[in-house]
């Protein structure tokens, strides 16, 4: 078991990410096509901004406040990424099982570090930018210390090792509160990084983690599960990450529209937010009812013939995505300035309903027809808005 532990964790990471994006393959291509200019601008500005912020860690002109803000921003972003990918990267549900197997602490730590480094994803872009453009010799050391400290803090926090996490957080504060490039300051930051690494290793030793107690289920949760035909617990557990990915694209689209409106130099009073959010929401949510029904019936085939169960499941499987779609359009309408919010929402609501029906009927062409229809509708709606 021990020699294959790394391969097992890597395979779980890959398969879990694939399952999160189930039903979104064609939709992702359409989303990139719809928002290619906005996404390119936002990604470029984000990477450039983070790279410029990281340069403050190894320049003489950076003061204490700037340095602490940069470290805090990096820590927040890295923790959010690892927390979002926690199930894929760290397999928390199987931790008790692996603890009962003869897997060494070194194997566990190496697997967690490898997958955590992969989970940092786009954060490596500003780091690479800094390393490529840096002229100071201390740049690589400062960036390596920041990455190591953030990994130590994030891994201990996500593992629930509170004592070790407090030590790692303290070393991160020492690193952030130590501006300058003198030999004494460099030595202090290096010692802080080594202490954080020791705390991380300590959290993997036998007996370092407290025993986890099982959570008690509430009667209200059981009533909700039964009333929804088990759709709510399915979405909250088995398909939680998949649903969060879909909602993440909708939220990111709304944020991108607001940023683009903020940065525009010409008049943005007629800018449409609903048209973009509605297009992405229709793409992201139209296949969710069929996915919920398929997963639920696959796992609970013996309940499929129960009329009451089928009725409850059918209502919740369609009502929840419809409610999410309506909520996305309602929030987007608050920021819409085009005056055509009702028209845009109506068009994409029809596309959303048609996508749900086609997916439920098992029509294979909906995989490419739905993204194509949304892109065409978005182009037409944008053109009509431009000529008004």
160: phi > 0 → left, psi -120 to 50 → alpha, else beta; which?
left
Please report where in the chains the tokens 């501006």 appear, as a residue.
179
Whether 188 and 141 have beta carbons less than 8 Å apart is answered as: no
Report percent pLDDT > 70 for the chain. Answer: 79
> Which pLDDT band holds residue 269 (cuts at 50, 70, 90)?
very low
Indicate the average pLDDT of the chain.
79
Q: What is the per-residue pLDDT for 216?
A: 61
Instruction: Give per-residue pLDDT as tens, 280-296.
Output: 888 888 888 888 887 77
How large is the average pLDDT for residues 165-183? 88
Whether 110 and 151 have beta carbons less than 8 Å apart is answered as: no
pLDDT at residue 45 tops 90:
no
Tell me how far apart the alpha carbons of residues 177 and 67 are, in angstroms, rounded to a whole number: 7
Whether 378 and 279 have beta carbons less than 8 Å apart is answered as: yes
Tell me how far apart the alpha carbons of residues 86 and 159 are, in angstroms, rounded to a whole number: 10
How large is the average pLDDT for residues 5-18? 84
Determine which of 64-73, 88-97, 235-244 has the lowest per-residue pLDDT on average. 235-244
Residues whose CB falls within 8 Å of the CB of residue 72, separated by 6 or more in sequence, listed in order: 176
Tell me how far apart the alpha carbons of residues 239 and 262 are, in angstroms, rounded to a whole number: 35
pLDDT at residue 3 tops 90:
no
Q: Burial, 308: exposed, middle or buried (Cβ in 10 Å; 0-12, 13-18, 19+)?
A: exposed
Please report where in the chains the tokens 């997916």 appear, as a residue.
359
pLDDT at residue 194 tops 90:
yes
Q: Other CB atoms closer than 10 Å to residue 341's CB: what's the count?
A: 21
Closest residue by Cα to residue 12 from 86, 79, 81:
86
Residues whose CB falls within 8 Å of the CB of residue 204, separated by 6 or more in sequence, listed in order: 105, 108, 109
Query: Between the CA atoms of 268, 270, 272 and 274, what dihedral angle is there, to the nearest 10 degrees?
Result: 120
- The distance from CA 29 to its chain's CA centroid, rounded to whole angstroms, is 18
> Which pLDDT band holds residue 263 (cuts at 50, 70, 90)?
low
Residues whose CB falls within 8 Å of the CB of residue 46, separated by 6 or more in sequence, listed in order: 122
> Between helices 36-54 and 64-84, what is the axis angle to 10°?
130
Q: What is the per-residue pLDDT for 105?
A: 86
Radius of gyration of the CA atoms of the chain, in A: 24
> Which pLDDT band holds residue 265 (cuts at 50, 70, 90)?
very low
Instruction: Give per-residue pLDDT as tens, 325-358.
Output: 999 999 988 888 777 888 888 989 999 998 888 8
Report percent pLDDT > 90 for the chain. Answer: 13
- The distance from CA 259 to its chain's CA centroid, rounded to whole angstroms, is 19
Closest residue by Cα to residue 371 from 36, 35, 33:
33
> Which pLDDT band holds residue 387 (cuts at 50, 70, 90)?
very low
Instruction: Give per-residue pLDDT as tens, 106-164.
Output: 888 999 999 999 988 888 888 888 888 776 667 888 889 999 999 999 999 888 888 88
Domain boundaries, the chain: 35-203, 219-387
* Backbone CA torsion sign across 337, 338, 343, 346: negative
Verdict on whether the full-model pTM lies above 0.75: no
Please, what is the end-to-end C-alpha distance for the chain in angstroms? Answer: 67
Tell me how far apart the alpha carbons of residues 73 and 53 are, in angstroms, rounded to a whole number: 9
Residues whose CB falls within 8 Å of the CB of residue 250, separated by 6 or more in sequence, listed in order: 277, 280, 281, 284, 328
How large is the average pLDDT for residues 220-229? 70
Q: What is the per-residue pLDDT for 207?
A: 67
372: phi > 0 → left, psi -120 to 50 → alpha, else beta; which?
alpha
How large is the average pLDDT for residues 357-371? 79
């Amino acid at each position: 078991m021990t020699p294959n532990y790394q391969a097992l964790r890597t395979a779980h990471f890959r398969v879990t990410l694939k399952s999160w994006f189930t039903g979104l393959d064609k939709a992702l291509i359409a989303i990139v096509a719809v928002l290619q200019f906005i996404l390119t601008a936002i990604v470029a500005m984000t990477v450039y901004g983070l790279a410029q912020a990281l340069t403050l860690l190894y320049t003489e002109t950076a003061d204490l406040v700037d340095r602490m803000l940069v470290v805090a921003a990096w820590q927040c972003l890295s923790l959010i990424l690892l927390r979002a990918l926690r199930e894929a990267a760290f397999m928390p549900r199987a931790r008790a099982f692996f603890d009962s197997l003869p897997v060494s602490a070194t194997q566990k730590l190496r697997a967690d570090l490898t997958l955590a480094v992969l989970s940092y994803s786009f954060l490596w872009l500003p780091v690479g930018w800094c390393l490529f453009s840096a002229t100071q010799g201390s740049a690589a050391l400062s960036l390596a210390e920041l990455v190591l400290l953030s990994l130590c803090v994030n891994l201990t926090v996500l593992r629930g090792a509170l004592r070790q996490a407090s030590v790692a957080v303290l070393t991160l504060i020492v690193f952030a509160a130590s501006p300058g490039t003198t030999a004494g300051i460099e030595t202090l930051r290096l010692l802080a990084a080594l202490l954080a690494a020791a705390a991380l290793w300590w959290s993997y030793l036998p007996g370092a983690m407290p025993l986890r107690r099982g959570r008690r289920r509430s009667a209200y949760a059981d009533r909700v599960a039964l009333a929804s035909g088990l759709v709510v617990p399915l979405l909250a557990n088995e398909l939680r990450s998949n649903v969060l990915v879909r909602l993440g694209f909708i939220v990111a689209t709304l944020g991108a529209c607001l940023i683009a409106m903020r940065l525009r130099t010409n008049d943005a009073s007629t800018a449409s937010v609903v048209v973009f959010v509605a297009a992405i929401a229709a793409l992201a949510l139209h296949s969710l009812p069929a996915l919920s029904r398929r997963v639920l019936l696959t796992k609970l085939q013996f309940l499929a013939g129960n009329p009451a169960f089928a009725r409850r499941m059918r209502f919740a499987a369609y009502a929840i995505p419809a409610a999410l779609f309506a909520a996305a359009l309602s929030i987007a309408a608050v920021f819409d300035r085009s005056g055509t919010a009702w028209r845009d929402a109506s068009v994409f609501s029809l596309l959303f309903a048609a996508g749900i029906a086609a997916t439920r009927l098992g029509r294979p062409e909906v995989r490419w027809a739905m993204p194509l229809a949304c892109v065409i509708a978005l182009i037409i709606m944008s053109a009509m808005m431009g000529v008004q």
